[in-house]
Amino acid sequence: MSDASSSVSCEIAVPNAQGMHARPVMRFVDVASTFSASVNVTNLSGRNERVDGKSAMEMMLLEAVQGSVLRIEANGDDAKPAIEALSSLVESGFSDGLSANTGDP
Amino acid sequence: MEIIRGISVAPGVAVGEIVVLEAEDFRIPRRIVTVDQIDSELKTLEEAVAESIEEITNQTKFLSTTLGKDAANVFKWHIGVIKDRSLQKSIRDQIRKGRCSAAYATSTIMRNYQRRFMQMKDPLLVERMRDVQDIERRLLRHILGEAREDLAHLTKPAILVAHDLTPTQTAHLAETKVIGVALDAGAATSHTAILLRSWGKPGVIGLNDISNRVSGGDTLIIDGTNRLVIANPNEATLAEYREKEAAFVRFTGALDELRELPAVTRDDQRISLTCNIEFPQEAKVGRHKGGDGVGLYRTEFLYLRPEGAPSEDEQYAAYREAIEGSEGKQVTIRTFDLGADKYTQQRRYEQERNPMLGLRSIRYSLQNLDMFKIQLRAVLRASAHGPTRVMFPLINSLMEFRQAKMTIHDAMEDLEEEGIDIDRDIPIGMMLETPAAAIQVKDFCREVGFISIGTNDLVQYLLAVDRGNEQVSQLYTPSHPAVLRALRDVIRMCTQAKVDVSLCGEMAGAPLYTMLLVGLGLRSFSMAPANIPEIKKLIRQVTVPQAQRVARKALSFETDRQVTNYLRNETRKMLPEDPI
């Protein structure tokens, strides 16, 4: 049990042209799900609704477009590495490591 | 009483009570479950989730190798949503707190999400609503399993009203008690329309919003002959149409009596009337209608099923069934005509800017040689069971034809090495359906075994009219003088070169064009099985010189309207009591 359960958050803008569509959402959910910490995301440029970062449905409802600022919060033992992984994922434009440029034409 | 006009897919009259498909296909009644049933509902949900994931994963496997990345990504999101723990939890909570069935809880939660996507600003996100709908249907299909209420369970004759039907749904109508169809969507030559015509029951499509204007249980008259439907008719109208319906049934019965008679003109010219089929079972239907075999087997319908690509053995079984069902008459198998409007279930998300000019038909097959070879192997194996021909769709250049032919020869060699029986002399032909092929027909005649003119595409490419676009489809007509002249030249050139030529577009099954085509020298027609009796009746009343006079006169006009009016008058003289 973790009495030292930590809470970490960051704020970051969505850089890629097509915003949070099917592939970016799944990349985010897949990465978030590898951590035991809970992950919540708020689109500060949108309706300000706080959604579950491990939910494919709710992440799509964020309505995050290019330039939308997201607040990502993690709660739990591995909150810090989770935030690090997720913020660099968003920063890279949801790159899967295979192709750097994933923007649709 | 309300009269709504549309496009006719098949003549005739049907009167009956309405079933609305969209609404009733997935109507989930709210059912309160007892506390001890809750566990079994939760288990049902859990199993449906697992089955859905397995099904969609299989589909995606096929998808990622043959189709676009975007489509695969969308399906990955589908999988993500089905696996979504928050979503599953809210459905489980709904089952527990609402004491309702798994089906009702799933439907309620998913429809909530659909509403939320609908309110979004980004049109791409609004589109996600359809994905959520798709996911909902997939889950419900697995939750309800066999218990799903669908058309197969109709207990009395009914008129089907729907926004649109998929070719797969349409194909199953023959097994139901549906006696007529009215659709919001559709154009006269869409594949749903073609399938409806082959089925032969009265139908009107392109009615825009009929599915919102009527409801289940209302009475609807379908008048395919006059291209209209009448909702909630008054008593006088209803009585009038009941009589017409009875006359229509008598008329179709009389045509069926022609079945055993040959298709010969009065001066003894034999005309071959074959069938266009989508499903192997239709080969038999064609024989019942008095057809001379299959002139066009549209194999791509094997793809229109949720499981995706058919295996070699599955294809072999289907082709063999069609060949055996033709009882010794020839079957012409067309290789997959995928792309354009015939999307497989999996391709719905892949968008080309101009699909009619895009990766379709033989182009698609030549870019997917593994898939193409599997099909050719299946065709060759089936050719051992009866007279078979094979042809390639949308051949536009000699190079394409040669490459396709080479692929067949490769497959032949493989099969012979494996010691499998095939017809080594199987005739190999092409569909002529582009202006380029029509202009170059003389060159093709030197290399092909036979030519089948596909007028549906030929007309649309010659006239640059999208036949599926409701806004311009009225400009689409085989009566255009340019079409008539192209046909004249192609038929003349093939006849001179002694290359077997047939015509398998919608035009072949329309009595309006029968005399014209016979007059142009065409001796082989392929059409929906339902059209055979009437075309045969007409052919048996004309002579070749008479048809030649009609063709000469038709070719002298400068506008399609003059051509149509003239042909209509000439056809009416021959078939005074028929709906033309």
For B331-363, the pLDDT digits (tens) are 999 999 987 655 543 454 556 778 788 888 999
**Which chain A positions have a beta carbon within 8 Å of B74's beta carbon?**
22
Distant-in-sequence, close-in-space partners of B549: CB < 8 Å, separation ≥ 6: B519
For residue B181, what are its two tokens? 């169809």
Find the range with the poorest average confidence among A2-6, B88-92, B222-226, B574-578. A2-6
| A12, A74, A95 from A86: Cα distances, Å | 10, 10, 11
Measured torsion, CA atoms of residues B515, B504, B174, B133, in degrees rounded to the nearest 10: -130
- What pLDDT does A3 receive? 41
**Residue A5 to residue A79: CA distance in whole angstroms:** 8
Q: Mean pLDDT throughout B541-557?
A: 97
Find, among B538, B540, B512, B535, the residue nearest to B525 by Cα.
B535
Strand-pairing partners, residue B231, are B2, B220
β-strand pairing of A50-52 with B13-20:
unpaired
Q: Confirm or reject contact between A60 and chain B (CB < 8 A).
A: yes
**Which chain A positions have a beta carbon within 8 Å of B121's beta carbon?**
63
Position B44 pLDDT exceeds 50? yes
> B interface mutation test: which of A41, A57, A61 has the most B CBs within 10 A?
A57
**Which chain B positions have a beta carbon within 8 Å of A60's beta carbon?**
77, 117, 125, 128
β-strand pairing of B2-5 with B7-10:
unpaired
**Which chain A positions have a beta carbon within 8 Å of B84's beta carbon?**
55-58
Residue A55 Cα, gap to closest chain B Cα (Å): 5
How many angstroms separate the first and last alpha carbons of chain A? 48
Position B313 pLDDT exceeds 80? yes
Predicted confidence band of residue B523 (pLDDT cuts 50, 70, 90): very high
**Residue B345 to residue B167: CA distance in whole angstroms:** 10
Contact B289, B529 (CB under 8 A): yes
- What's the CATH superfamily of B2-25+151-254? Phosphohistidine domain (3.50.30.10)
Measured torsion, CA atoms of residues B311, B315, B317, B318, in degrees rounded to the nearest 10: 140
φ/ψ region of A93 (left if φ > 0, alpha if ψ in -120 to 50, else beta) reads left
Q: Do B86 and A29 touch (CB under 8 A)?
A: no
Q: Which stretches within B84-219 are classed as H helix?
A: 85-98, 102-118, 123-144, 167-171, 191-199, 210-213
**Residue A64 to residue A43: CA distance in whole angstroms:** 7
> A interface mutation test: which of B49, B82, B122, B352 has the most A CBs within 10 A?
B122
The 3-state DSSP class for residue B298 equals strand
| B384, B422, B494 from B417: Cα distances, Å | 16, 11, 36
- What pLDDT does B272 receive? 97
Residue B337 Cα, gap to closest chain A Cα (Å): 28
Predicted confidence band of residue B509 (pLDDT cuts 50, 70, 90): very high
3-state class percentages of chain B: helix first, strand second, coil last, to nearest 5 = 55, 15, 30
Q: Pick the residue from chain B with its C-alpha nearest to A26.
A: B77
**Residue B549 to residue B386: CA distance in whole angstroms:** 39
- What pLDDT does B265 receive? 97
Find, among B459, B450, B401, the residue nearest to B427 by Cα.
B450
Q: Which residue has the higher pLDDT, B483 or B58?
A: B483
Nearest by CB to residue A56, choosing from B81, B120, B125, is B81
Strand-pairing partners, residue B14, are B222
Contact B289, B282 (CB under 8 A): no
- Helices and strands of chain B, counted as H and E runs: 23, 16
Q: In sequence order, what DSSP letters do the residues of B522-534 get, joined into one string? A: --EEEE-GGGHHH
Q: Each residue of B187-204: pLDDT tens digit?
A: 665 667 766 777 778 999
Q: Confirm or reject contact between A96 and chain B (CB < 8 A).
A: no
**Which chain B positions have a beta carbon within 8 Å of A18's beta carbon?**
124
User: Catalytic residue at B504?
Assistant: yes
Strand-pairing partners, residue B160, are B19, B181
Q: Which residue has the higher pLDDT, B546 or B141?
A: B546
The 3-state DSSP class for residue B399 equals helix
Q: Each residue of B385-439: pLDDT tens digit?
A: 999 999 999 999 999 999 999 999 999 999 999 999 999 999 999 999 999 999 9
- What pLDDT does B448 receive? 98
**Residue B338 to residue B342: CA distance in whole angstroms:** 6
Q: How do the domains of chain B map onto residue ranges?
A: 2-25+151-254, 35-147, 273-574
In degrees, rounded to 5, the angle at the alpha carbon of residue B150 between the alpha carbons of residues B285 and B170 is: 35
Q: Confirm or reject contact between A25 and chain B (CB < 8 A).
A: yes
Selected catalytic residue, list B142, B163, B191, B385: B191
Q: Mean pLDDT throughout B358-369?
A: 92
Give the residue numbers in B contacting A (CB under 8 Å), as ranges. Answer: 70, 73-74, 76-77, 80-81, 83-87, 113, 116-117, 120-122, 124-125, 128, 132
Q: Which residue has the higher pLDDT, A69 or B70?
A: A69
Q: Each residue of A10-25: pLDDT tens digit?
A: 999 999 888 888 889 9
Q: Each residue of B94-138: pLDDT tens digit?
A: 999 988 888 889 988 998 898 888 888 877 787 787 788 888 888
Q: Pick the residue from chain B with its C-alpha nearest to A18.
A: B124
Q: Pick the residue from chain A with its C-alpha nearest to B349.
A: A22
Contact B431, B394 (CB under 8 A): yes
Q: Each residue of A76-96: pLDDT tens digit?
A: 999 999 999 999 999 998 875
Which of the 8 DSSP states describes residue B33?
-
Q: In sequence order, what DSSP letters do the residues of B486-508 get, joined into one string? A: HHHHHHHHHHHTT-EEEE-SGGG
Q: Mean pLDDT throughout B12-41?
A: 76
Strand-pairing partners, residue B296, are B276
Domain B35-147, classified CATH 3.40.50.720, yes or no? no
Selected catalytic residue, list A6, A10, A13, A21: A21
Place of tokens 């395919």: B224
In degrees, rounded to 5, the angle at the alpha carbon of residue B3 between the alpha carbons of residues B2 and B9 is: 135
How many angstroms separate the first and last alpha carbons of chain B? 27
In degrees, rounded to 5, the angle at the alpha carbon of residue B213 between the alpha carbons of residues B210 and B219 is: 85
Q: Do B83 and A56 touch (CB under 8 A)?
A: yes
Contact B480, B452 (CB under 8 A): no
Q: Each residue of B247-262: pLDDT tens digit?
A: 888 877 777 778 778 9
Look at domain B273-574 and name its CATH class: alpha beta
Q: Do A61 and B113 touch (CB under 8 A)?
A: yes
Q: Each residue of B1-22: pLDDT tens digit?
A: 889 999 888 888 999 988 877 5
pTM for the whole structure: 0.58
Q: Which residue has the higher pLDDT, B499 or B128?
A: B499
User: Catalytic residue at B153?
Assistant: no
ipTM confidence: 0.85
> B interface mutation test: which of A28, A50, A52, A55 has the most B CBs within 10 A?
A55
Which of the 8 DSSP states describes residue B201?
S
**Which chain B positions have a beta carbon within 8 Å of A21's beta carbon?**
73, 124
Domains for chain A: give ranges and CATH numbers.
6-91 (3.30.1340.10)
Nearest by CB to residue A26, choosing from B80, B85, B113, is B80
**Residue B69 to residue B348: CA distance in whole angstroms:** 13
Contact B77, B125 (CB under 8 A): no
Predicted confidence band of residue B64 (pLDDT cuts 50, 70, 90): low
**Residue B506 to residue B577: CA distance in whole angstroms:** 22
Q: Which stretches within B418-556 are classed as H helix?
A: 435-439, 441-445, 455-463, 481-496, 514-519, 532-539, 544-555
**Residue B313 to residue B324: CA distance in whole angstroms:** 16
Strand-pairing partners, residue B297, are B277, B333
